[in-house]
Amino acid sequence: MNDPLSNVLHIDLSRKRFWTEDRSELFNEMIGGSGVAIKLLAEECPKGTDPLAPENPIILAVGPLTGLYPIASKTVAMFKSPLTGNLGESHCGGRSAIAIRFAGYGAIIIKGSSETPVYMSIHGDKIRFRDASVIWKMANSTTVGRILREKESGSGIRSIMRIGRAGENLVSYASVVTETYRHFGRMGLGAVFGSKQLKAIVISGKKNIPVSDMKSYRETYNETFKLLSSAEMRKYHELGTSMNITPLNELGALPTKNLQESKFENAEAISGETFEKNFLGRRVACAHCPVACIHLAALREVYEKEPYFYKTEMISYDYELIFALGSMLGISSPQALLKLMDEVEILGLDAMSTGVALAWATEAQQKGIITTKETNGLKLNWNDEESYSKAVNYIAAQVNEFYKTLGKGVIYTSSKYGGKEFALAFGGNEMPGYHTGPATHLGFLIGSRHSHLDNAGYSIDQKALAKNSKLTPEEIINKLIEEEAWRQILSSLVICFFARGIYKPELISKAFKTIGKEINEEKLKRIGLKILKEKYRFKKREGFIIKNSEIPERIFETTTPSGNLSKEIFNEGLKIAELKLDSI
């Protein structure tokens, strides 16, 4: 039986046409996921393409273990990012990967732009361009999901990816919401959907996936499942990533009030422990994942006009959301924080960029760089949930020139209004919630998507702190590149990074064997480096130069657990990184 993984589905929204192409050679060379997606992006995206132009492709890719092994449940999206103007990459779970794989595709390429709002309905080989005029401009992305669930077949196996108002209005950090609690959150995939008038994709299928040795497949599957159900993974199920709020705060590494501080006085009120004790409603999982790390808070609220009637909203929370919409904005009420998270979900915004943008705006207003004239009458103050809630809506609705600018990110906004020194973005992408030491920030600067997920610099800092050792810039860069290269393998197999300690080279080789492929540790590492090189090549092609990286002054002003950061280490680190990445 042929493996449908090598089928690439092309969709042209301008001409309303689609076709499939066999790309076995590409999947053999680059595995799947990130590896395949970066090659397809380089092929399909002409140099210098405007991220919001019809020529910017959206690539969605899954991997050879998807549907066969647990937790290979992520879909990789690649595109040119409207936020950074360079390589855009975002990963999403839910049912997205399993649905694409069972529909019979390894990758989907969407190009062109529709003249009127559409959504794609892909049920195996049955592909339709559907009118989305009725759901375009609908205020709540959750309602859009509900309508599509009723309209489309595939209940229980389908995935529904859709944008909210922010994506329609081309906010550069608009997200794509998948199912209800998962997202292609970062780097503005939602705006690329919006620029194509693509409201949603519904996808399902029932294709078979071939296995060459059923007996060893069963054995390897059971071994993997057991490992994923072990104590090592329980922490993700129990408190989830929100468990990090307390230790990072105690360490002095939790960015607070636009990183003017690295400890939040009210951290306990918004910690994972508080959420678990007072709000946790249930835990859910992405398809084919025994870990179930998605934590949903049940927020009971009274109806405004009916004081005796209550509604209960289920709101997903995790570390990054708590940092970005919580400590970064000085929010100390967990209820207020949950409401902000819900707002961001409904509007289809990336929580991290939104929180960092609002934190910048608050400081800018306090310093007199912007006034109520710009903010549409709002006085932004730390811990003022009402103003933040309004501001989030103003960003999504793009109500005036200032919010249109803020919707393009803090680097763009500060280049227009001033306040660059406290605009917390790296390579154009707003910062994640770690101020642990030099490795985390060097990691953001050199990582291919400027994210903590690229190379986990925060972990390098924390390990060095635990050993009481100071790493040289060269040691830091070596560790960052080694980690990022290995993560290319995981993201090409679309394995959730939480399982990085389980899917080691030996287990991956075994799993490959059961699908008739030989691959050893050395070859895996070679491919990892090759994928990293392809990404770096694309970034250079689009104008990225490591040594020209802008570093916000603020990270040198606010102390980290490793002490105050030194500019010399950064200058040296960037030089070394450039040389090393050039020579891969």
Residues of this chain that interact with ligand SF4 (CB under 6 A) are 71, 73, 93, 236, 285-286, 289, 291-294, 496, 498
Spatial distance between the Cα atoms of 509 and 520, rounded to a whole number of angstroms: 6
- Residue 282: CB minimum distance to ligand SF4, A: 13
Closer of 69 and 388 to ligand SF4 (Cβ)? 69
* CA separation, residue 442 to residues 80, 215, 321, 411 (Å): 23, 46, 22, 18
The smaller minimum CB distance to ligand SF4, of residues 67 and 330, is found at: 67
Distance, CA of 162 to chain centre: 15
Q: How far is the CB of 562 from ligand SF4 (least distance, A)?
A: 29
Report the C-alpha gap between 171 and 575 in whole angstroms: 33
Give the helix ranges, DSSP H, for 296-384. Answer: 319-325, 334-347, 351-366
User: Which CB, 184 or 236, lies closer to ligand SF4?
Assistant: 236
Strands, DSSP E only, in 370-460?
A: 425-426, 429-430
Instruction: Give least dist CB 491 to ligand SF4, A.
Output: 12
| Nearest-approach distance from CB 553 to ligand SF4, in angstroms | 35
331 versus 496: smaller Cβ distance to ligand SF4 = 496
Q: Which of 514, 518, 517 is nearest to 213 (CA)?
A: 514
* Torsion angle, alpha carbons of 274, 277, 282, 285, to 10: 50
Whole-number minimum distance, CB 183 to ligand SF4, in Å?
Answer: 11
d(CA 432, CA 439): 13
Looking at the Cβ atoms of 352 and 464, the one nearer to ligand SF4 is 352
Minimum distance from residue 353 beta carbon to ligand SF4 (Å): 20
Strand runs (DSSP E) across 390-467, as ranges?
425-426, 429-430
CB-wise, 236 or 570, nearer to ligand SF4?
236
Q: Measured from the CB of residue 495, what is the shortest distance to ligand SF4 in angstroms?
A: 9
Sheet holding 280-284, edge to edge: 280-284, 294-303, 306-317
Considering just the CA atoms, what is the radius of gyration of the chain in Å?
Answer: 23
Nearest distance from C-beta of residue 289 to ligand SF4, angstroms: 3
Residue 110 half-sphere exposure, CB side, CA atoms within 13 Å? Answer: 27
The owner of tokens 């610099």 is: 457
